[in-house]
Amino acid sequence: MAKSDVPGYEFSIWYGIQVPANTSPAIIEKLNADVTRVLQASDVRSRLSRLGLVPMTSSPEAFGSVLHAEITKWTKVAKAIKL
């Protein structure tokens, strides 16, 4: 990013699961609990680790905050480089 005249930025690749905006909170909570359970399983963690991935989980609200921050950050970058 520094070579693009946007100093102070770093990026990482991450994955997340999203659902339509009108999905019921009960379904969101169940999906979050199920994904968290799977990502905490030792065989899954081991497999992801061998692929160089670090599984992380959070609450739906925390993930929403991450998405908002990412949109804000990359909007600034896109404008700065006139993308």
Tokens of 23: 């999905």
Tokens of 60: 């739906």
Question: pLDDT at position 10, please?
Answer: 72
Question: pLDDT at position 1, please?
Answer: 55
Q: What count of other Cβ atoms lies within 10 Å of the Cβ of residue 23?
A: 12
- DSSP-H helix ranges across 1-83: 25-40, 42-50, 60-80
Question: pLDDT at position 80, please?
Answer: 87
Delimit the domains of the chain by residue range. Answer: 23-80
Query: Tokens 């979050």 label which residue?
Result: 32
The whole model's pTM is what?
Answer: 0.72
pLDDT along the chain (83 residues), means of 10: 65 88 96 96 96 93 93 90 87
